[in-house]
Amino acid sequence: MKRTLTIAAISLVAITCSAQWLQPEGVPAYHPAPPAKSEQLPPILSGKDIENFQHPVMKKAYTAAAKASKVIYQLPCYCYCDRGHGHKSLHSCFESEHGANCSTCMQEALFAEQETRKGKTAAQIRAEVMRGDYKKIDLVKLDNAS
């Protein structure tokens, strides 16, 4: 019985972790417009919530997400967490520790903040994300730059 439970637990973890490499069809969930002025978005984790992250790039991703909060609200997340976790946009990933555990989320947030600094609109950044331009973000290089 113990062996069966162990195998079941390992299988569940393997299936859950492999989800980010599956490539479902279609564009993941996102908001096509910024939040209404009266709408208060859930906060991006910050401060003590992120100080114990294992790698500096994880903190950088959350800082970038906070800086581009209204932009990432309008971006899809290509780890397809909308399907497995019910996320509504890339913003949802950084409301919890999900973003720190997913290279796709971190790349997209860092890319969005970088492109926002260049003066691009959320719609322009979304088009770039949909093309896969966020994949150019080198997380290892950014982690070692700290």
Chain centroid offset of residue 99 CA: 5
Containing domain of residue 138, as a range?
A: 26-144
Q: Would you state the structure tokens that stand for residue 146, as one six-digit string?
A: 């700290």
Q: Is residue 8 part of a domain?
A: no
Nearest-CA neighbor of 84 among 42, 5, 21, 127? 21
Q: Is residue 98 part of a domain?
A: yes
Per the listing, tokens 């500096």 go with: 56
3-state secondary structure of 61: helix
Cβ within 8 Å of residue 34, ≥6 positions away: 70, 73, 74, 122
pLDDT at 45: 96
pLDDT at 30: 95
Q: Is residue 10 part of a domain?
A: no
Q: Is residue 90 part of a domain?
A: yes
Cα(100)–Cα(93) distance, rounded to whole angstroms?
Answer: 9
Q: How many domains does the chain have?
A: 1
Query: Are 76 and 89 a contacting pair, CB within 8 Å?
Result: yes
Q: Is residue 1 part of a domain?
A: no
Q: Is residue 17 part of a domain?
A: no
Q: Which ranges of the chain does DSSP label H, i.e. alpha helix?
A: 2-18, 56-67, 69-72, 81-84, 90-93, 103-117, 122-131, 139-144
pLDDT in tens, the chain (146 residues): 665 545 544 544 455 555 554 555 789 999 999 999 999 999 999 999 999 999 999 999 999 999 999 999 999 999 999 999 999 999 999 999 999 999 999 999 999 999 999 999 999 999 999 999 999 999 999 989 86
Would you give the DSSP letter of residue 20?
G
Q: Is residue 76 part of a domain?
A: yes
Would you give the DSSP letter of residue 79?
T
Apex CA 17: angle with CA 14 and CA 21, to 5°? Answer: 115
